[in-house]
Amino acid sequence: MPIIVNLDVMMAKRKMSLTELSEKVGITMANLSILKTGKAKAVRLETLEAICRILNCQPGDILEFVD
């Protein structure tokens, strides 16, 4: 898939664990893990917005298009 998810990079930069982020975003660790590993087929804008707000970043910091 040409969309690369760099969520793990942003989490490391902010020194935030998967557990902490899932609690703050309000989604399960399993769903966040699926997104983090790039196995998700879609992401809700509401979820992306919450992740960006908590990690203090832009959507482009998390999602990258590689042709």
- pLDDT exceeds cutoff 90 at 1: no
Total domain count for the chain? 1
Query: For residue 36, what pLDDT band results from cuts at 50, 70 and 90?
Result: very high
The domain in which residue 36 lies consists of 3-65
Q: What is the pLDDT of residues 12-21, one digit of tens each?
A: 999 999 999 9
Predicted confidence band of residue 43 (pLDDT cuts 50, 70, 90): very high
How many Å is the Cα radius of gyration of the chain?
A: 11
CATH code, domain carrying 43: 1.10.260.40
Residue 47: pLDDT above 70? Answer: yes
How far apart, in Å, are the Cα atoms of 35 and each of 8, 12? 10, 15
**Residue 24 CB contacts under 8 Å (≥ 6 apart), including other chains:** 50, 54
Mean pLDDT across 23-52: 94
